[in-house]
Amino acid sequence: MAMEVKSNSSVPETQLLEKISAAISAITTAKYVDDVILTLHSVAILIFPVDTSSLSDVASNWLSCFPLTARKLVYDVFFVKGLIFEVVQALIPSLNHSTSVVRSNTERLVALCLLENEGALQLAKELDVYHESNDNSASLVKLTVSRVAQLVASVPDKTRPGALKSLSSQYLLSICIKLGSSGCLFLTKALSLFFKSITIQLLDGAEEKSRKLYGKEVYTGVDGSFLFVAEMFARICRRGSADLLVSEVIPRIHRRVRNLLSSHDKDIITEKSFKSDPSFQFWLLMIGTIKDAYVLEKMTEQILHQLVYESANDTEAYWILWILFHQSFQHQTTVRVIFVDKFLLLKVLPFCCLRWILQFAVFGCPFDDGKLKKSENNHVLLEAVSRVVQVWSTREFVQSSPLEQQFYVTAVAGLLLENMSREELDSTKDVMRLILEGVSCRLENPDELVRKMASNVALVFSKVVDPKNPLYLDDSCREENVDWEFGLPSSMGALSSKNRTSNNVVKAESNDKGVHMESQNHGDTHERESKLNPDKKKPFELMLVDPDEIVDPASLNDEFLTGEEVDDNASEDSESSSDSSLQPYDLTDDDSDLKKRISQLVDVVGALRKSDDPDGVERALDVAEKLVRASPDELRHVASDLVRTLVQVRCTDSVVEEEEDSAEEKRQKALVALLVTCPFESVNTVNKLLYSPHLDVSQRIMILDVMTDAAEELANAKTIVRKTQPKSLISSASEPQLWFLPSSKGPTGAGSWKEIPDTLPFSSLNLTNRFERELPSKSVEIKGKTRRWGHNPANLQGSVNDWSQNKFPLYAAAFMLPAMQGFDKKSHGVDLLGRDFLVLGKLIYMLGVCVRCIALHPEASTLAPALLDMLRSREVCQHKEAFVRRSVLFAISCCLNALHPSFIASSLMEGNEEISRGLEWVRTWALQIAESDTDRECCTMAMACLQLHAQMSLQASRAFNSAESSQQKQSIGLPSNLAKGVIRIPGSNSFLG
């Protein structure tokens, strides 16, 4: 230090000599270095008075003045050989010094003392001696240990950027996590080199000390060194390095457990085997010394993940958990809550970890050849079953919990039930009732995997109640062992969801017009039809309708009755050509001639109403679609009755087993054909039936599916429309050619027109003008002939062919408005906002498809805002079921794609605040869903909606600015209320309006 030194000549010489003599005597008799330092300091102050006001000034180059050898042997050794307890308290606070030279020197000394010379281990030993001192109370020891541990743990946070790597807060480490059959997953993690070195020192010292003290009475495991180790571990975990700590702990204990298990017969390995081994003494007490609940939870979770990474088997994992936690599990409520409550109900852990937790914390005994085994004490099992089933059975858990959490808790409930007996189940309170409630609320869920959860639990429950009569609700769960992982791949060891159906994805494709989103969870019908009939055309496939096609209705029955041609005179020819009329005749399965042919729509209606004639119903369903597609004259008159009959007919009562899906497919195709060929009459009937109290949920869903398919077919069908361009009867005055002259049009090579004079001798007046011209000769070569048949030849002069697309806008209002009027009415048999949420989700999806089918058409400007107004209602957009919220997001995306930007701009210019409020609600609500919704698919769809909203706002802003500049050029002022309409673009501070 460069201190301000002032010579003090006023000190008497005799006093100075006496002071030096006393100092020599004190140094001679001194036992500690501190006494020598104090004595020399008193003499130095007397000779060189120091100005205390400048004491903090430090020279920048004083240390470099020392030779390298002197610095190591004199300066560095002063810190290395001193008490690390005092060195730590002196050096670490200086890491925040304002002078960079002092900070760099302090960092070098900290690394030298704590890391290179194992100062952390030495510190634990000194604190042990400090604890054994009779002058120190237990509370003072804990306070000192806590303060020193806090100083050591703060080193990475106090080091400056660019400091020594050994003291840096983080470094990157690439690790590979094994995922079984799915391969490996490489991760890059940030870990602290400083904490890694401290952890290794403390573990080495703790293990060594526990082995030395094993068997002695003084060994209690709670002394200064172990208190410091526990406090340091807690501080390391608190700073986010629990995974680093566990990565050093688990390999050590795993290696010792594996060696012990391999050296002994597994049948003789007991709890006593580990208690009597000196190498396990520290591990038996390590967790018990940590009292921080947060640290215990983080450490325990990381221990389970590390065991997965270490590929520990069931037996090894069980004994490791027992060694670390058995004492704490018995005596600490915090540890029991972590295992029995948090790890079974609130966390999502790998499936193998779940089995380890159940075996250790619930069953309380080792595995039996890799299978779960319960002990004789079953009160923990009964308590766990009651607690888990109570959570699993609630409807709120199904509605608000992520799908991964539902998988996990379902697996917990299933594994517990698999290890229960009928007597144990009867002894529990309300467990049977809760299981039935949980199964019931999942069976009505639209998600296939949620229904599979109910099927698996119902199967296990039925085996407990009556093992001889298992209940199979799903054909896929007929194996002996239930798959509690549900066939899902693991991601980082945790259960994860996957796409349930072919249409259960969100697609956001950017194009010039915006982003198009596909449907969510509404592909059950289409997927089922594609499996039954692979050749079936998709609903979006273009269909050609020829208005000149002639169909014989009577011929529609031939392909369904028999594969051969039917001849009315077949019986007579057969009889006349036969040699003997007494020849035996096989009457088996020969009643095809007795079946009445159905060739009229009225016959279809009559056959469908005869529920006691299943064969007639089946034949009517076979021909219904083709008869409707033929568009006979009677279609308009019978369309309503036929729609009503098709909706109410029970296909399952009229067909043989395992053919219900085929009959259902034919019924839906016939209904789609009715809505396409006779829209107004048919859609009016289905809208009345939709809210009829006499239908069930399946019939309402079928109606909505049919309306969806019909809207898509009408929007994508192509028809030939012949447009005739009439010739103008009055010529334009601007034509350069005289009106009475013939047109100059004609074949290539034709000459000009020439007037022909009248050659008749008796003609005195020339009342007409005649013209002629030379035409090119026809080519001798004839390449071929083409003949076209039809009522109106396409090559007639003045007629052209045109393709007319999207016939749906004409019928969009008839499809949507009646269906939107009754969604919030609760009547007998109808409760869309409550019990019938499946119908509500399907209804919203159908309305979204209808809006998508009229995208950028004038009808969208009226129907899309009306649909947004319906979706804004709290009962709809804030519905508890994720299925409904997904439908709302899909419908919103369709509305955003359907509205033309110029319409939005013109609405704002006209002062239409409804559009502004609706689009602002879309932005705020989608942002809320993206940030806080528990359903992952809802979050993804909400982000796509925000992207659509941003693109729509940008395009509308451009249209608005263009219209505004145009009006300014025409000196037309904007309305005064224009400023009230505002559209905010997500992710920016700009406004439209």
For residue 135, name the pLDDT band (cuts at 50, 70, 90): low
Give the total residue count for the chain. Answer: 993
Please report the pLDDT score of residue 426 as a whole number: 87
The string over 83-116, giving b where at least 16 C-beta atoms fall within 10 Å of a residue's C-beta and e elsewhere, is: ebbebbeebbebbeeeeeebbbbbbebbbbbbbe
Beta bridge partners of 544: 718
Lowest-confidence region among 357-366, 378-387, 899-908: 899-908
Q: How far is CA 915 from CA 868, 899, 953, 981, in A?
A: 9, 10, 12, 8
Please report the pLDDT score of residue 596 as a whole number: 63
Q: What whole-number distance in Å separates Cα of residue 762 and Cα of residue 115?
A: 135
Please report the pLDDT score of residue 532 as a whole number: 34
Q: What whole-number distance in Å separates Cα of residue 940 and Cα of residue 893?
A: 12
972 pLDDT above the threshold of 50: no
Please report the pLDDT score of residue 579 as a whole number: 43
For residue 181, name the pLDDT band (cuts at 50, 70, 90): very low
Among 23, 20, 2, CA closest to 11: 20
Residue 683 · residue 846 · CB < 8 Å: no
For residue 904, name the pLDDT band (cuts at 50, 70, 90): confident
Higher pLDDT, 938 or 589: 938
Please report the pLDDT score of residue 179 as a whole number: 45
Helix 224-238 and helix 119-132: axis angle, to 10°? 130
**67-76 contacts, C-beta under 8 A, 24 or more apart:** 76/109, 76/112
Please report the pLDDT score of residue 479 as a whole number: 64
**Sequence-ordered list of residues with C-beta below 8 angstroms from that of 407, at least 6 positions apart, any chain:** 348, 449, 453, 485, 486, 488, 495, 497
Give me the residue label for tokens 């809505």: 675
Average pLDDT over residues 136-165: 83
Residue 482 · residue 351 · CB < 8 Å: no
298 pLDDT above the threshold of 60: yes
Q: What is the pLDDT of residues 838-855, one digit of tens each?
A: 889 999 999 999 999 988
913 pLDDT above the threshold of 80: no
Average pLDDT over residues 18-46: 82
Sequence-ordered alpha helix ranges (H) in 239-313: 242-263, 271-275, 281-286, 293-309
812 pLDDT above the threshold of 60: yes
Lowest-confidence region among 151-165, 413-427, 516-530, 817-831: 516-530
Please report the pLDDT score of residue 11 as a whole number: 61
755 pLDDT above the threshold of 70: yes
For residue 719, name the pLDDT band (cuts at 50, 70, 90): low
419 pLDDT above the threshold of 80: yes
Please report the pLDDT score of residue 359 as a whole number: 93
Lowest-confidence region among 133-142, 622-631, 964-973: 964-973
Among 658, 647, 661, CA closest to 689: 647
C-alpha angle 779-782-783 in degrees, rounded to nearest 5: 125
Please report the pLDDT score of residue 232 as a whole number: 93
**Sequence-ordered list of residues with C-beta below 8 angstroms from that of 628, at least 6 positions apart, any chain:** 601, 635, 642, 670, 673, 674, 677, 678
739 pLDDT above the threshold of 50: yes
Lowest-confidence region among 166-170, 693-697, 762-766, 810-814: 762-766
Please report the pLDDT score of residue 233 as a whole number: 94
Please report the pLDDT score of residue 803 as a whole number: 59
The region that residue 976 occupies, defined by phi over 0 for left and psi between -120 and 50 for alpha, beta otherwise, is alpha
Beta bridge partners of 545: 719
253 pLDDT above the threshold of 50: yes
Average pLDDT over residues 691-700: 85
Q: How far is CA 978 from CA 905, 950, 966, 967, 993, in A?
A: 10, 21, 16, 14, 7
Structure tokens at 856: 């950028």
455 pLDDT above the threshold of 80: yes
Across 474-488, 647-661, 779-793, the highest mean pLDDT is recorded for 474-488
Higher pLDDT, 138 or 238: 238
Q: What whole-number distance in Å separates Cα of residue 603 and Cα of residue 619?
A: 11
Instruction: Sketch the domain layout of the chain as residue ranges.
Output: 50-157, 240-376, 393-485, 594-652+660-716, 809-965
Q: What is the mean pLDDT of the chain?
A: 75
390 pLDDT above the threshold of 60: yes
Q: How far is CA 885 from CA 395, 697, 839, 939, in A?
A: 16, 19, 13, 10
Please report the pLDDT score of residue 769 as a whole number: 65
Half-sphere exposure of 522 (CA within 13 A, CB side): 33
For domain 594-652+660-716, say whether CATH 3.60.15.10 is its number: no
Among 728, 960, 683, CA closest to 846: 683
Give me the residue label for tokens 């852990």: 349
Q: CA end-to-end span of the chain, whole Å?
A: 69
682, 687, 692, 698: CA torsion to nearest 10: 80
For residue 511, name the pLDDT band (cuts at 50, 70, 90): very low
Q: What whole-number distance in Å separates Cα of residue 678 and Cα of residue 876?
A: 32
Residue 143 · residue 84 · CB < 8 Å: no
- Which value, in Å, is the radius of gyration of the alpha carbons in the chain? 44
Q: What is the pLDDT of residues 193-234, one digit of tens each?
A: 889 999 999 999 988 888 877 765 444 445 778 889 999 999
Please report the pLDDT score of residue 888 as a whole number: 92
515 pLDDT above the threshold of 60: no
Residue 860 · residue 899 · CB < 8 Å: yes
Beta bridge partners of 984: 991
Please report the pLDDT score of residue 306 as a whole number: 95
Please report the pLDDT score of residue 191 as a whole number: 53
What does the DSSP assignment read for 173-202? EEEEEE-GGG-EEEEEEEE-HHHHHHHHHH
965 pLDDT above the threshold of 80: no
930 pLDDT above the threshold of 60: yes
For residue 484, name the pLDDT band (cuts at 50, 70, 90): confident
Residue 340 · residue 384 · CB < 8 Å: yes
882 pLDDT above the threshold of 70: yes
Q: What is the pLDDT of residues 331-371, one digit of tens each?
A: 899 999 999 999 999 999 999 999 999 999 999 898 888 78
Give me the residue label for tokens 């050609």: 544
Burial of 952 (0-12, 13-18, 19+ CB in 10 A): buried
Task: Give the whole-number percent of the chain exceeding pLDDT 90.
Answer: 18
734 pLDDT above the threshold of 70: no
Average pLDDT over residues 588-596: 50
Q: What whole-number distance in Å separates Cα of residue 686 and Cα of residue 202?
A: 77
Higher pLDDT, 565 or 334: 334
Burial of 614 (0-12, 13-18, 19+ CB in 10 A): middle
Please report the pLDDT score of residue 983 as a whole number: 46
Residue 703 · residue 690 · CB < 8 Å: yes
Please state the φ and ψ torsions of residue 313, each to the nearest 5 degrees: -80, 180
Average pLDDT over residues 710-729: 67
593 pLDDT above the threshold of 60: no
Average pLDDT over residues 77-98: 87
Give me the residue label for tokens 């914390």: 361
Q: Which secondary-structure segment (H or E) carries 100? A: helix 100-110
Average pLDDT over residues 401-421: 91
Please state the φ and ψ torsions of residue 55, each to the nearest 5 degrees: -65, -30
